[in-house]
Structure 1
Amino acid sequence: FTAGGLQETLQVLAKGCTEALKVKACSIRILDEKGKRLEIRAAYGLSQEYLKKGPIEIEKNPLDQKVLRGEIVSTLDVSKEPLFLYPKEGKREGICSLLSVPLRMKEKPIGVLRIYTSRPHQFKKSEVSIANTLALEGAIAIEKARLQQKMQTLMEIAKTINSTLDLPEVLKLIVKSAAKTMGYKAASLRLLDREGETLKIRATYGLSKKYLEKGPVRVSESPLDQECLAGKPINISDVNAEPRVGYREEIKRE
């Protein structure tokens, strides 16, 4: 998928969902890179005025917090639902009932598929099943597009690396691209000193100067780096729960 191809696919999905369930409208929103907002990616049956009503910020939206945790949320009447954001705009748009289904890939939330009706409607199990299937198709399309984008970025990195002999610039490009391509907060690259005793910082992206000055990384004092240098990839889901991680207070502050 290209960016345009993904947009077209999601738009077809939104239209297909609306027509298959014979409802007023359907929208597809995807989490932004920081995971703080749901941004509109496709919609069918909704006015531009309604779509521009305002941002969907997760921390201010208990309803979507539930959905992103994996729940399917059905709302019979949005005008009587205190968790529904923008009730006035919803009323003007003629929205009554709502079905919100999570877009998930490998158990990770990536967005929300939303179905709207103009009259009170209790969604049947069969309708929820159809919406869930379409949400899965949407999530797969999004994941494919992201993987393609990552591959394209990696190819561009490889071309850039091959076109320059400036090692510092190459290392900077590698860490920046690694963080941005994977959608992570930061990245760093350390190389062993001549004695093979300390890992010296050579390039970083997204880390503060204060954090980088926290102290040396001595291989003899770092079991994790010893494993990594032996050729074993290290994946830590929560550094606060990993006793082998050094400088934990500094990491927490960062």
Structure 2
Amino acid sequence: MDEVQIVVAHDERATLRVGDVFLKIDADQSRIDVEVAAMAMAPVPTPEILWRKPPVLALAAVPGRALGRLGEPSPASPAAWAAAGAALRALHGAPLPPWPGRPLDEDASRLDAECAWLVRNRVLPADLVERNHRIAEAALRPRTPVFAHGDLQITHVFVDGDEITGVIDWSEAGQGDALFDLAVLTLGHEEHLGDVLAGYGTDVDLEAIRAWWSWRSLVAARWLIEHGFDPSEPGAEFDVLRAAR
């Protein structure tokens, strides 16, 4: 008999694995609606939907293994990272989904609020937060929206050898900034940015990618802490902030 494994669980949603089936449980059905619609539209490999009965979405496991994990050296080859860049380029070149993404003013407000929380609660030194706040502001510029994944962590990209076998967790997908996807994919793995961009195949604004590294790390910190994750682990978000330039 297959055991039930808890992949992730917090007060917003939970994901369980039973054999080769993943069960995503989410009380907010709008997120599941987005995930189902985005996977149907995306021109990249995605998990097979086995069934849906709110609040549960059942997905088949994708073959291969994750591109890597934050804070750990990636076991994937440079060619696999390049393949991830090529897949991301295909996604960004696809027709826009009909629902909107986050507006710029919301990104700016979140940045201000989370920086204030980090300083007020003495989570990080004020000068480190202020320096990264200045860096992050460069990401908040007008941009042409693309079909964006919205949360393209390396644990959401699966590879087998040098091939992409699946991209998972589409609940944040929508119209967004191409460089945000590139930044989230390479967060904490700057050494693979060149491989990703080689696969992506077009020139990009490297300053904006670095700015998104700071934005993501600042904005995610409180959520991670409050949900039992540790952004102070070696190579994780706080190290990204310390390395920002």
The structure whose RCO (Cα within 8 Å, separation 6+) is larger is 2
Q: Same fold (TM over 0.5)?
A: no
**TM-score interval, normalised by the smaller of the two chains:** under 0.3
TM-score for the superposition, normalised by structure 2: 0.24
Max Rg structure: 1
